[in-house]
Every structure is written in structure tokens, then in C-alpha cells.
Amino acid sequence: MGARIAESALYGHLWGTDELRDIFGEDARIRDWVWILVQLAEAQGELGIIPPRAAAAIARSAKPGRLDLARIARATRETGHSTLGLIEGLQQVLPAEAAEWVYYGATVQDLTDTWMATAMRRVGAVVWREVRTIETLLLGLAERHRDTPVAGRTHGQPGAPVTFGFKMAGFADEVRRHLERMQQGAPRWLVGQLGGAVGALGFYGEQAIPLRRRFCERVGLGDPGISWLTSRDRVAEFAVVLTLVCSTLGRFGNEVLELQRPEIGEVAEPAMPGGVGSITMPHKRNPELSEHLVTLSRLVRANASVLLEGLVAEHERDGRGWKAEWIAFPEVCLLTGVALDMGRRVLDGLEVDAGAMLRNIEDAHGMLASERLLASLAPAIGKHRAQSLLQEALADGRRRGLGLEAAVAASDDLRPHLGDAGPVLPAVVDVGASGAMVDEVLERARQARTQERATWP
């Protein structure tokens, strides 16, 4: 294993998944690069740009397993060129009639950008699958807990009641927007690259545009219409969408972490079989997965910022941003894969304590009904005056250890507006339009899922 912790035998599972490593690992990358070069040769052979016999020989003999990777690595270091070692390695395994025709007229960026688009396609398929699964789990929680009251919190403090289903529906709706972004982005992102030296495809003459079109068809990508050597918005946008996905998962993880605090105790992530919370405090049950979702989201945002820096590039080719993608882009994808896996596991086994949610509302001694009380007073004495009087009365009540009803009853300014028989107070557990909004999210998601494919793009 490598020196980077992401490649550690002990900790690698925290920073990547095997499914995505199969896209970005050295063997997989060489395999895909060779396949792309074969598709280029066959497209060139079909158009008569290279001899068809040479194209057939390249397709027949250019096999990753035949390459001497140690020799390729040595030549890469000695020449200082990114793929000259690969070219020489291919020439070693090709028959003489084909050796001069491999990698014909193409550049490093033609190869690596096309590969990156194919990687986006494969990564996107995984992300799409996992995000839809997460949406399903969130929608299930939203529906089951449509009417389960819980304290809504603002600035970390209890505010007014909502429902736990409302919380989950908010996450589900956000996830649905990520799916929409992926649908909309696919035609922009999944395009090939064949630009040649400066993007003008001068090497191929009149055959340039037909070749690019045929090459893109063969690798299963769209024709970009124009070379995008320094237009890095495609890579950046894809990474930003993954960053949004991870940030949603990070927000969810942070919510679980906060609500699992024993003093709140409303939810808990699933206990790991054999899991140990602390080697010195055996009573602890740490929200390890939820905490790690926040960590992953930070790392994804950091790596995505490198890709955003690449948007400002120079002239017709600029290796500074483009080569930084070789590091940052796989990191964004690998970390996203782990976040999706962990988010799904937390949601699938999330423990919801509806009793604790209700107790926390009741422990506020009616104070969470202050919004509804303000609304009932506003028509009679004005919203702003009612707010001022209530704030004063409830602050005094807190100092005296009174609940909302007693605090309002003790206010000479408010008592006359609450009826002859004493305070007429709203229900303590009034969740507003929470349930109606849950229903709206559920219906929109159902309609969207009937119209979209289960696979991406």
C-alpha cells in the first residue's frame, strides 16, 4: 500500500470504496487509456487516416497485460513527458506495420480528458444509484414520521415544534435537486476531447471534424463541437455537484451528531456490531459515521476548490490547472463514494426516539408555543407590540422559573387580551403546516421517479 492514508490497509475504507478505486487505480487507468487509444485508431482506420490494417493490428495487440509498466514508468521519468513512456510501451508490443500509427496526431490532453469524461460517466452512475437510494430512505422516514412532533431549533436553541418527517422531507427535497442537477448536467459533462496541439485539429486536415465525431461515438461520449483544452467548467461543474451531494450528507451527519447528544437523545445512528465508542470511557456510543460525513464533506469541498481554480487557464493549453485535476478530481469522487455509503448506512438503521422528542417539547413548559401565541395576539394589539410584550413577559417568566402560561398570566399588559376566563393559549404541540409540506415533497418525488431512469445518464 502507498504512503497516503487513503491507500492504507487499515484506514483506506474511510477514504474510498473498492467500486470507485476500480475506476481510478493505476491498472484501471492504464486499461482505460489503452482502450481509448484503440478506439481512436479504429476511428482513424475507418476514415482512412491510418491504414485499416494498422488499426486492426493496434486493436488486436494493444493489450494492457502485455505492457511493461516498469519500463513505461522509467521512460516517463526520463523523458519528463506524461505519456511518451506509454507510447513507447505500446510500440514495443505492436507489430512493425502498426507501431508508427498508434497515438496518431493526438495529445496527452486528448487522452486524459476523454478518460476523465468516461470516469465521470462511471462515477456518475454510482452517485445516481446511491443518491436515489438515499432519497428513498429519506422519503420513508418522512412518511413514517409525518406527524411525529419534534422541537424545531434555530441558532441551536428550541424554537417552535415541527415534525421529524418535516426534517427528513427537507433533506429529501434537497437530494431530489441533486438528481435534477445530474440529469441536466450529463449532456454537458459527458463529451470527448480531440483537440490536437492547440485545439484546432490541424494535424488531420479536412478529416478533423468527422474524426472527432466518430471517435466520440466509439467511446460513447458526445461530440463537444469545439475543443475545450482550457475550458475546465465541465470538470469543475461535475465536482461541484458531487460537493453539493457531500455537503447535504455532511449537514445530515451533523444533525444526527447533535441530536444524538444524551441531553437531547432524539435520534441515534445504528450501532456498529463490535463497535467501541471509547477505550477509556466504556459507556460512550459515539456517532462515528455521522461525524465522518462532516469530515468527508470538508475534504470534498477543499479538493473541489482546486478544480475551481483551474477555471482560470491561459491561452490554448495550460498544464497548471489541468494537471492539478489528476489529483483533485479522483479525490472528490472517491470521498463522495464513501460519504454516500456511510450516509446510506446511517439512514438505513437510524434510531428515532419519538418519546424523547415529545419530552423535550414538554420540558420547555409551553414556551415553544410562543409563535402561535404571538400570531393570536397580533390582530388585537399589533404584531410588533405583541412581540415586545411577550418577550418581556417570557424573559421574566424564565427568571422566575415559570412556564409560558403562568408567565403570560402574570403580565398585566397581556392578561386583558387573553379572555375573561384567563389565558386562552394555543396548543403546545402545534406543528404548523409541517405535514402538508411533507405530503408535497412525497408527491413531487413520486412523480419525478416515475419519469426518470433508474440508471444514469
Task: Tell the residue number behind the cell numbers 482550457, with chain if given.
Answer: 230
Give the span between the Cα atoms of 413 and 415, in whole angstroms. Answer: 6
Q: Is residue 250 within 8 Å of 298, Cβ to Cβ?
A: yes
- Catalytic-role residue among 155, 283, 315, 384: 155
Grid cell of 352 as nine digits: 428515532
Give the span between the Cα atoms of 47 and 40, in whole angstroms. Answer: 11
Nearest of 174, 148, 172, 142 to residue 162 by alpha carbon: 148
Torsion angle (degrees, nearest 10) of CA 229, 234, 236, 238: -150
Distance spanning both ends of the chain, measured CA to CA: 34
Give the span between the Cα atoms of 132 and 449, in whole angstroms. Answer: 9
Pairing of the two strands 149-154 and 267-268: unpaired
Q: Is 411 a catalytic residue?
A: no
Burial class (CB in 10 A: 0-12, 13-18, 19+), 50: buried
SS (H, E, C) 67-91: CCHHHHHHHHHHHCCCCHHHHHHHH
- Catalytic-role residue among 145, 178, 227, 278: 278
Q: Is 178 a catalytic residue?
A: no
Instruction: Give the up-direction half-sphere exposure of residue 234: CA atoms within 13 A in the CB hemisphere.
Output: 24
Catalytically annotated residues: 155, 278
